[in-house]
Amino acid sequence: MLYEVAKHVLGALAHLLFRVTIRGASSVPAEGPVVLCANHIAWWDPVLMAIAVKRPVYFMAKKELFRYPFLAYLFRKLNAFPVNRGKPDLGAVKAALGVLQQGNILGIFPEGTRQKNKEQLGEMHAGAALFALKTGAPVVPAAIRGTYRIGRPVVLVFGESIRLEPRTGKTSVDMEAGARVIESAIFRLWESTKEESGVAAREVGSC
């Protein structure tokens, strides 16, 4: 209930403050587990993703947001769960796999943190690929581009879903290969938003 209320209120605010364009949201399957991956430029990103997708999205969020009991309660009600970004977090991995095993959408930002330089993408980590490989869930890549300045354009575009398959039998190798597939898909979408977002594009080194 709180998720839907926050989604509509913050969604209305986002459309009021920014020139929001959303494309390709129909690429997100109407049912079943999905790993939804996007680049990360601001705290508004989960809001845009949530308002674009009809189904609830469960987001991994940095554990610092859960430091205080009231905020921890609030974020959990908003379908977020904590992850320790500084070291391997088995609890967060189990929570993420649980989201997918229950047939829900897992929202994740593979860069691991917000990028201060909005003219380039950060390197994508392999966690999203691991979750997709472990559960068989499709990956839906997305790209967000803009500055989140009042009256300025912000573009969110979704790509076609991707099925990652284990090919070598070595988890670490398959994870890394999957991460590069996801990274390339996000980069192509990000490049496609260059003109409508008004932000110049620069190459990302690993793509």
pLDDT band of 57, cuts 50, 70, 90? very high
Query: pTM score, two decimals?
Result: 0.89
Span 145-183, pLDDT tens digits: 998 999 999 999 999 999 998 888 888 999 999 999 999
For 39-186, strand residue ranges (E) read 57-62, 80-83, 105-108, 139-146, 153-158
pLDDT at 118 over 90: no
Q: 196 with 155: CB under 8 angstroms? A: yes
Residue 129 has pLDDT above 50, yes or no: yes
Extended strands (E) in the chain: 19-23, 34-38, 57-62, 80-83, 105-108, 139-146, 153-158
The residue length of the chain stands at 207
pLDDT confidence of residue 197: 63
- Sign of the C-alpha dihedral computed for residues 164, 130, 170 and 113 taken in this order: positive
Which domains does the chain show, CATH number per domain?
2-197 (3.40.1130.10)
pLDDT, position 27: 94
User: Any idea what DSSP says for residue 85?
Assistant: T
